[in-house]
Structure 1
Amino acid sequence: MLGIEALASLDVRQSGTDISPIGYEFTTETISPTSITLVPILRSGLGMLDALQTVLPYPVSVHHLGLFRDPLSLHPVEYYNNLPFTRPNSSTAPEGNPSAANLAIILDPVIATGGTAVAAIQTLKEWGVQRVILISVLGCAGGVAKAAGEWPEATEVWIGGIDEELNDRGMIRPGLGDVGDRLFLTIGK
């Protein structure tokens, strides 16, 4: 449901016509921008991936970011990044990174301190995306504000619910616990 709401702002335009399997002509439509990538934050964001893929009218690339929060400092640590990089040819490529998508949709079910979301937004901005949509199921008010303020002119944040406070370990109160552990039925640390 969050994905449908978040993606309702995408422009739909007619792209031509096609013939149905039983012989009727119909108008085809496409969404804009046409260069979209889904970016689940490993591992909990994987639980949102299939749902978002079914909302989009055509397959899009998926690039994973592995980020975890250091338990002592509560700062994000990147351990995996599979965003491609193509060196631009100055005579033919547009400025920036030609392999970057126009729109990156970050999938992360929980925003607690906001550090992971900020790190993901920074990484995607440096990669060269023009716009970011961040979709989360639950967030803490302060962490959501921090994420929304990281690149406000190009970032939309969509949240299913807000809890007001964090505990001393940076976990949302009352919260959901570790979504990755819950999703993959593993025992938390």
Structure 2
Amino acid sequence: MDIDSFWELIEECRRQAQGPDGRLAWLRGALSQRSPAEVVQFQARLDEVTHEAFTWDLWAAADQIFGGWCSDDGFCSFGLWMVGLGREAFTQAVADPDALAATPEVQALVGRPREVWNDDWPGWESLDYVAMEAYGILAGVEDECGEAFYEAVDAELGGGGDNSGPLGEQWDVRCEDEAARKLPRLHAMFPLR
């Protein structure tokens, strides 16, 4: 599965199902109809694109949306959620994190208390496990740790993932002037005060 096929599957998932659970179910079913090699390749492409989003500027955008603080795990989940927005929105956000302000998914959060975001929450951690689940279905095994799957993904990626920190220069959205300059729309939509 090349990058275009990966994004086509994500886009089809968006068309076929609503909400994170419905999309996961659809995606799990679609991946379960493919070869184990394609399922591994799907995960490898997912790992590659989420690595593209591993930047300090996008982390700051997540911080702004979440009210001034986003944990390590929260940011990983946020990057997976961005994949679920589709290729165009994802690519625009990687190039300019403030572009997230134009997405309907982010606009739907404005003015609502975080406690009621529920299915609209900008995080999708379970996307990171759907390929492993489909692989288990295809292999007919319940490998809870996914060792064979992750070994295959590692081999697909050429071994040894990149464990470096986020790209770019770290900055803090609690510095109002910097946040207003770097994320003007998100800063206005999700004020910290």
TM-score range, shorter chain: under 0.3
Q: Which has more helix, going by share of residues?
A: 2
Higher relative contact order (CA 8 A, sep 6+): 2
Larger Rg over CA atoms: 1
Q: Which has more strand, going by share of residues?
A: 1
